[in-house]
Chains A and B, each alone.
Chain A
Amino acid sequence: MKNAGNKTVKRRTFLGAAGAGTVTTALAGCLGGISGEDDDIFRIGHLAPTRSQMGLGAERSIEIAVDEVNDDGGILDQEVELLSENTEGQVDEGTAVVESLIQEDNVDLLVGTFVSEVTQGIMDFVADRNVPFIITGSADPDSITEFHGRDYEEYKNVFRTGPINSDLQAEAMGQYAEFLSDEHGWEDFAILADDAAWTGPFIERLPDEIEDLGFNVVHADTMGIETDDFTQYLDDVDSADADAVFRFIAHADSAAFVSTWQSNEYPFAVEGINVPGMSPAFWDATEGACLYETTSQSGAGGVTELTDRTMPFVEEYEDRYADEDPPSKPMYMGFNSYDAVHFYREAVESAGTADYENELDGIVDAMLSTEHTGATGEMVLYDEDSEYPNDVQETRDEDDYISNFPMTQWQEGGEVECVFPEADATADHVAPEWL
């Protein structure tokens, strides 16, 4: 206070004080700037390996859903903006883009993730931030049982609206084995699976499912995801005298698998799940070697009318992307990403809020009580007390067959046909001609 009063402030002191003030203000501003501002736009962050056909199909499909929602007044009267990020199927990349979407872009909803490892890698962060997250690609049941099952309160903002988890898929595959036995008299089955999180149930549960129905599992093995020579695996199935092999491939080189099988005319059918084989471009990529192979997929490849929303969505997709790069159909993750947006909109509009920071419980309750008709079928989530909290339920037909994970088959001329369940089938299942 000694210098207070009418003494002139020295020029250097003034400059110093002014400089310090400016720097402090700027720093303080930047401190807030590390996370973005909220506003009246409803932002959806979409996560997928968008350089792959599966991820690109999902990205395009969610664009269609967002446009439809915006044309219909948005979500709770807010315009919807889509921010699509490429996870590259890697945990580190997935973590980085999710943090950026939540912290910097302030997304109101996260949709996506294909690789189960990526899904699980981001789970804790997403749970910590309470942003609603709808899984639309990963099927690993652990993504629910190991998280919600351990601490529901912590992970209640995470949902899966499709596909059904691979425990349920394993049950569906058992039922499909029964169908194949009825059709062709096959009784001996083999199982080959990617060594990855989502295929665990196909190794652990599917053998019991098949054997409980009175059939035999004559061989089971896992394949490293870098595998590109499948001769030894197919020889083993051959030695075991299997009538059909259920193979579960999302990462490995499935074109090499099917080409080896077809060119050597191995005496067994190829059934199960083949993610790259869901692309309409797979026929050309394998020069038709995929003839007779089947895959299960949400949306049945877009070849059959599962609900009255299925074909309008598929036709819109085909119209928009007819001249673009493959895939020319949405593929399974595309169906699920499309449905997730409409499902969430229906839920939060019934709850009257999408404010997850203050009213997450209301949103969760609305999600669990929503019954939505999607492009993939009728959608309802399991509740907190069930084995798979917040996970999409399987639907069953009158014969108790799981109906929302239909089987498609490549048939003559590169046509994709739905072959199971019979209520949705567009053609009969065909056994390879050399059997």
Chain B
Amino acid sequence: MSSETDRSTGSTRALGDTWRSVDDGLRTVGSRINPVFQPLADGYNRLFGAYFGEMNGLQFLLIFGSLLGLLTAPFWGTFSLVQTMTIACIWAVFAMSWDIQSGYTGYISFGHSVLSGAAAYATAMLVYNVDPEMSMAVTIPLSILAALVVGLLIALPTLRLSGPYFSLITFVAVLIFYRLIRPFSEYTGGETGIQGVEVFTYDPLVRYYYMLIPMLVVAVALTFVARSNIGLVLMAIRENESAVNAAGLDATKFKLWSFVLSSIPMGIGGVLLVHYYGSVDPTTFVVVDNSIEMIAMAVLGGMSSILGPLGGAFLFVVLEDFLLEGLPASARWTILWVIILLVLVFARDGLFRKLWHKLDSYGHRGENR
């Protein structure tokens, strides 16, 4: 036994040494790259740092390199990759929206798909039941409003609840919504859903930007809010709700705000999704699995960070629809959930948040700031 223990301790130590040397190597490379981009980062920090947080050169490279990559994807990506990224944009909106409510306040919602579903169903039902020629200028705002109303309907009874009871209510809300679709099939299209919703465009290149631009706007807006005092209060609710109340702030009011902040972009995402597929059905739009996937994306990227869930959504969707595409659905999902489990165990703050902090420490090492 002792020799086995020695061996395992030895191998753990060797692994640790290897990681330390890799880390040191990356640190050295990072400290050399950082000064190159630091002037750009400084310019950004002067203009926007107060609103969106400051960055070092490496972090600037990550954010603006990614942004450049996203903006130019149709020019370097294959058709399948761009198609996957188009869907990822919509899921990123969902994951960020979930995060501003659940990630920041710590009140975990299992029912967010009901909000996007409400917006998508509102669009489809307006077209199907009211006027097939109804303009998007009318259906889009009404659908986002529908998401907001449903969000408040869920929020109001949950405001005095905490811990698992809040999560259970949101979970039940999505189940009720899902079950109501069949009895009202005359209006909702039942199991088959509603077809014939106008799509934005079938041109894959143009469609990509139709999804990307709202996603970027949502990302900027939510980052701004999250970095503001509202974001600070929401995080304080997660840390210690009693202390927030004791400080004279009404935590209930802020929790309500978090639902409003979350419902509006969820509505935008729902509208994007229904105009992407041109149809709505309960399996694609409402099932509770969708809510769980939003949580998984946020966990993967890093909860309570807005850009973490964005990155998590892209990683999740690209893994599922592109990198693991050839595998049977069951194998794909097993691999994805194992990855989520590993992230929860070994990088609880999420992969992108971990990366962000690493870049922060590598950049500081350069001492060029």
Tell me, yes or no, whether A binds B: yes
Interface residues of A (CB under 8 A from B): 26-27, 30-31, 33-36, 51, 88, 90-92, 95-96, 99-100, 103-104, 116-117, 120-121, 123-125, 128-129, 146, 195-197, 224-225
Would you list 21 pairs from A and B whose C-beta atoms are within 8 A, ordered by A residue?
Answer: A30-B74, A30-B76, A34-B79, A34-B204, A34-B205, A90-B284, A91-B277, A91-B281, A91-B283, A95-B277, A96-B321, A100-B79, A104-B78, A104-B79, A116-B192, A120-B192, A146-B195, A195-B190, A195-B191, A197-B192, A224-B182
Task: Compute how far the CA of A36 lies from the CA of B78 in the bound complex, rounded to whole angstroms.
Answer: 10
Find out whether the CB atom of A125 lies under 8 angstroms from the CB atom of B75: no
Find out whether the CB atom of A30 lies under 8 angstroms from the CB atom of B191: no
For residue A103, which residues in chain B have a CB less than 8 angstroms away from its CB? 79, 204
B350 in the interface (beta carbon within 8 A)? no
If over half of B's interface residues share one DSSP class (helix, strand or loop), that class is named, otherwise mixed; here it is helix
> Which residue of chain A is the closest to B208 with respect to CB atoms?
A34
Find out whether the CB atom of A225 lies under 8 angstroms from the CB atom of B191: yes
If over half of A's interface residues share one DSSP class (helix, strand or loop), that class is named, otherwise mixed; here it is helix
For residue B87, which residues in chain A have a CB less than 8 angstroms away from its CB? 96
CB distance from B152 to the nearest CB of A (A): 29
> Which residue of chain A is the closest to B192 with respect to CB atoms?
A197
Query: Of A34, A88, A91, A116, which one neighbours B279 at CB under 8 angstroms?
Result: A91
For residue B75, which residues in chain A have a CB less than 8 angstroms away from its CB? 26-27, 30-31
Report if A128-B202 is in contact (Cβ < 8 Å); known contacts: A27-B75, A90-B284, A104-B79. yes
Find out whether the CB atom of B80 lies under 8 angstroms from the CB atom of A196: no
Other A-B pairs beyond A92-B277, A100-B80, 12, CB < 8 Å: A27-B75, A34-B82, A36-B79, A51-B329, A116-B192, A121-B281, A124-B199, A195-B182, A195-B191, A197-B191, A197-B192, A224-B182
Find out whether the CB atom of A35 lies under 8 angstroms from the CB atom of B192: no
Task: Compute how far the CA of A129 lies from the CA of B203 in the bound complex, rounded to whole angstroms.
Answer: 10
CB distance from B185 to the nearest CB of A (A): 9
> Which residue of chain B is the closest to A36 with respect to CB atoms?
B79
Find out whether the CB atom of A120 lies under 8 angstroms from the CB atom of B195: yes
Query: Of B191, B278, B283, B284, which one neighbours A124 at CB under 8 angstroms?
Result: B278
Report if A125-B202 is in contact (Cβ < 8 Å); known contacts: A30-B75, A30-B76. yes
> Which residue of chain A is the closest to B190 with respect to CB atoms?
A195
For residue A51, which residues in chain B have a CB less than 8 angstroms away from its CB? 328-329
For residue B57, which residues in chain A have a CB less than 8 angstroms away from its CB? none
> Which residue of chain B is the closest to A96 with respect to CB atoms?
B83
B270 in the interface (beta carbon within 8 A)? no
Find out whether the CB atom of A121 lies under 8 angstroms from the CB atom of B328: no
For residue A128, which residues in chain B have a CB less than 8 angstroms away from its CB? 202
> Which residue of chain B is the closest to A128 with respect to CB atoms?
B202
B111 in the interface (beta carbon within 8 A)? no
> Which residue of chain B is the closest to A95 with respect to CB atoms?
B277
Query: Of B82, B196, B199, B281, which one neighbours A117 at CB under 8 angstroms?
Result: B281
Most buried by A among B74, B191, B192, B328: B192
For residue B190, which residues in chain A have a CB less than 8 angstroms away from its CB? 195
For residue A116, which residues in chain B have a CB less than 8 angstroms away from its CB? 192
> Which residue of chain B is the closest to A123 with respect to CB atoms?
B195
Interface residues of B (CB under 8 A from A): 72, 74-80, 82-83, 87, 182, 190-193, 195-196, 199, 202, 204-205, 277-279, 281, 283-284, 321, 328-329
For the complex of A and B, 7 pairs with smallest distance between CB atoms = A104-B79, A27-B75, A197-B192, A30-B75, A120-B195, A92-B284, A124-B278
Task: Compute how far the CA of A100 lies from the CA of B192 in the bound complex, rounded to whole angstroms.
Answer: 24
CB distance from B124 to the nearest CB of A (A): 12
Task: Compute how far the CA of A104 lies from the CA of B79 in the bound complex, rounded to whole angstroms.
Answer: 6
Find out whether the CB atom of B281 lies under 8 angstroms from the CB atom of A34: no
Task: Compute how far the CA of A95 lies from the CA of B204 in the bound complex, rounded to whole angstroms.
Answer: 13
For residue B83, which residues in chain A have a CB less than 8 angstroms away from its CB? 96, 99-100
> Which residue of chain B is the closest to A30 with respect to CB atoms?
B75
Find out whether the CB atom of B195 lies under 8 angstroms from the CB atom of A124: yes
Task: Compute how far the CA of A75 lies from the CA of B321 in the bound complex, rounded to whole angstroms.
Answer: 33
> Which residue of chain B is the closest to A24 with respect to CB atoms?
B75
CB distance from B287 to the nearest CB of A (A): 11
Find out whether the CB atom of A88 lies under 8 angstroms from the CB atom of B329: yes
Task: Compute how far the CA of A26 lies from the CA of B72 in the bound complex, rounded to whole angstroms.
Answer: 12
CB distance from A147 to the nearest CB of B (A): 8
Report if A196-B79 is in contact (Cβ < 8 Å); known contacts: A51-B328, A117-B281, A125-B202. no
Query: Of B72, B202, B281, which one neighbours A27 at CB under 8 angstroms?
Result: B72
For residue B277, which residues in chain A have a CB less than 8 angstroms away from its CB? 91-92, 95, 121
For residue B82, which residues in chain A have a CB less than 8 angstroms away from its CB? 34
Task: Compute how far the CA of A36 lies from the CA of B80 in the bound complex, rounded to whole angstroms.
Answer: 12
For residue A99, which residues in chain B have a CB less than 8 angstroms away from its CB? 83, 204
CB distance from A224 to the nearest CB of B (A): 8
Find out whether the CB atom of A91 lies under 8 angstroms from the CB atom of B191: no
CB distance from A244 to the nearest CB of B (A): 26
Report if A125-B278 is in contact (Cβ < 8 Å); known contacts: A31-B74, A34-B205, A91-B283. yes
Task: Compute how far the CA of A31 lies from the CA of B204 in the bound complex, rounded to whole angstroms.
Answer: 11
Task: Compute how far the CA of A91 lies from the CA of B197 in the bound complex, rounded to whole angstroms.
Answer: 14
CB distance from A356 to the nearest CB of B (A): 16
> Which residue of chain A is the closest to B273 with respect to CB atoms?
A92
Find out whether the CB atom of B74 lies under 8 angstroms from the CB atom of A196: no
Task: Compute how far the CA of A146 lies from the CA of B82 in the bound complex, rounded to whole angstroms.
Answer: 32
For residue A117, which residues in chain B have a CB less than 8 angstroms away from its CB? 191-193, 281
> Which residue of chain A is the closest to B328 with respect to CB atoms?
A51
For residue A91, which residues in chain B have a CB less than 8 angstroms away from its CB? 193, 277, 279, 281, 283-284
For residue B279, which residues in chain A have a CB less than 8 angstroms away from its CB? 91, 120-121
For residue B79, which residues in chain A have a CB less than 8 angstroms away from its CB? 34-36, 100, 103-104
> Which residue of chain A is the closest to B82 with respect to CB atoms?
A34
Task: Compute how far the CA of A117 lies from the CA of B193 in the bound complex, rounded to whole angstroms.
Answer: 8
For residue B195, which residues in chain A have a CB less than 8 angstroms away from its CB? 120-121, 123-124, 146
For residue A124, which residues in chain B have a CB less than 8 angstroms away from its CB? 195-196, 199, 278
For residue B204, which residues in chain A have a CB less than 8 angstroms away from its CB? 34-35, 99, 103
> Which residue of chain B is the closest to A28 with respect to CB atoms?
B75
Task: Compute how far the CA of A146 lies from the CA of B189 in the bound complex, rounded to whole angstroms.
Answer: 13
CB distance from B362 to the nearest CB of A (A): 28
For residue A129, which residues in chain B have a CB less than 8 angstroms away from its CB? 202
Task: Compute how far the CA of A26 lies from the CA of B75 in the bound complex, rounded to whole angstroms.
Answer: 8
For residue A95, which residues in chain B have a CB less than 8 angstroms away from its CB? 277
Task: Compute how far the CA of A31 lies from the CA of B78 in the bound complex, rounded to whole angstroms.
Answer: 10
CB distance from A226 to the nearest CB of B (A): 10
CB distance from A92 to the nearest CB of B (A): 5
For residue B199, which residues in chain A have a CB less than 8 angstroms away from its CB? 124-125
For residue A100, which residues in chain B have a CB less than 8 angstroms away from its CB? 79-80, 83
Task: Compute how far the CA of A33 lies from the CA of B75 in the bound complex, rounded to whole angstroms.
Answer: 8
Task: Compute how far the CA of A293 lies from the CA of B42 in the bound complex, rounded to whole angstroms.
Answer: 76
For residue B74, which residues in chain A have a CB less than 8 angstroms away from its CB? 30-31, 34
CB distance from A135 to the nearest CB of B (A): 15
